[in-house]
Amino acid sequence: MTFSRRNLTRRRFGVGLASLAAAVATTARSEAALRTIDTHAHVFHRGLRLAPGRRYAPDYDAPLALYLEQLDRSGMTNGVLVQPSFLGTDNSYLVECLTKANGRLRGIAVVDPAVSADELRALDRAGVAGIRLNLVGQPLPDLASAEWKALLGHVKALGWQVEIQRSASDLAGLAPRLLDHGVSVVLDHYALPDQKLGVADPGFQSLLKLGATRSVWVKISAPYRNGMAGEDFAKQAYPLLRNAYGPDRLLWGSDWPHTQFEATQTYAKNRQFLDMLIADKDERAQVLASPRQLFRF
């Protein structure tokens, strides 16, 4: 009788452990599904030092508190702050904001190719999850050079991403070379195809093939940066991107505060456009939650 009771107790204990594990897994899935992540926004104020050679500088403030207010109003749980190009490689305000947000936000930094591993590790501890290459109007980097090889090696070791803003025609050649270094790649703003060609741009069509790598993500953000017919373009591009990449490799971003498009854009307007673009609630929820692992939320 004692032996039977002991076995029964063990069986009950095993069943209890299995039930607990199932409950934990269910809770984790539920929490992941409830995540709604804005993967592209900027914060700054006019007191910050501006980078030399900048193409643009805003004449207003877009502070952290105002961005968090946008998230709250739109029911977004998390956000990602992307270092603005006009602040160059001084990521101090970005780090300050990540610290104040206490884990709600992640960051994408802009760094010099010769940055040290210690500097990158410090950014990593602050909540930075990748580097941005804003190559609009800039020469393409020589990824075969020693300093770029070293930088990309550090990025890979940290598990970071490389986010790129550049025309689709150039990305078609650059993105595969980045993948050769073993890093994850994120393409900004629908990959910026030629505005006249839209989805017919050969570069955009070539980038669709990278979905099979499962190491590339595309931001379905800021359709207005793809010309006056940007929303029409987005409606054509989204089904192609979804079929090529899957909803789990598409990232929504508000692009707040919509630099150079402030007069026509708002956070709410861009969030509402997403609801129209992805009418299926489950699919939209998947897109909004998919950045969780990429940005380590």
* pLDDT at residue number 32: 56
Residue 166 has pLDDT above 50, yes or no: yes
Report whether pLDDT(163) > 60.
yes
pLDDT class of 14 with cuts at 50, 70, 90: low
pLDDT at 17: 52
Give the integer Cα–Cα distance in Å for 127 and 103.
Answer: 7
Residue 6 binned pLDDT confidence (cut-offs 50, 70, 90): low
Write down the pLDDT at residue 157: 97
CB–CB of 1/8 below 8 Å?
Answer: no
Confidence of residue 133 (pLDDT cuts 50, 70, 90): very high
**What pLDDT, on the 0 to 100 scale, is given for residue 56?**
81
Question: Of all helices (H) and strands (E), which one includes residue 41?
Answer: strand 37-41
Q: How far apart are alpha carbons 109 and 99 in whole angstroms?
A: 14
CATH number of the 36-294 domain: 3.20.20.140
| Residue 27 pLDDT level (bands cut at 50, 70, 90) | very low
- pLDDT tens-digit series, residues 209-259: 999 999 999 999 999 999 989 999 999 999 999 999 999 999 999 999 999
Q: Confidence band (pLDDT; 50, 70, 90) for 81?
A: very high
Considering 27-36, 130-139, 239-248, the range whose residues carry the highest mean pLDDT is 239-248
Average pLDDT over residues 180-203: 97
Whole-angstrom distance, CA of residue 135 vs CA of residue 261: 19
Question: So what's the pLDDT on residue 228?
Answer: 87
Neighbours of 141 (CB within 10 A): 18
Rounded distance between C-alpha atoms, residue 32 and residue 52, angstroms: 41
- Position 150 pLDDT exceeds 50: yes
Tell me, yes or no, if the pTM score tops 0.95. Answer: no
- Please report the pLDDT score of residue 4 as a whole number: 55
Please report the pLDDT score of residue 189 as a whole number.
97
Lowest average pLDDT, out of 43-57, 92-106, 187-201, goes to: 43-57
114 contacts: CB under 8 Å, gap ≥ 6: 147, 151
Q: Which residue type is seen at 48?
A: L
Mean pLDDT for the stretch of residues 259-275: 97
Token digits of residue 63:
């502070």
Query: How would DSSP label each residue in 197-241?
Result: TGGG-HHHHHHHGGGGGS-EEEEEE-GGGG-TTHHHHHHHHHHHH
Q: Kindly report whether the peptide bond that precedes residue 202 is cis, defined as omega within 30 degrees of 0.
A: no
CA distances to 84, 175, 178, 295 from 187, rounded to whole Å, are 16, 9, 12, 15
**What are the sequence ranges of the domains in the chain?**
1-34, 36-294
- Does the pLDDT value for residue 287 go beyond 90? yes
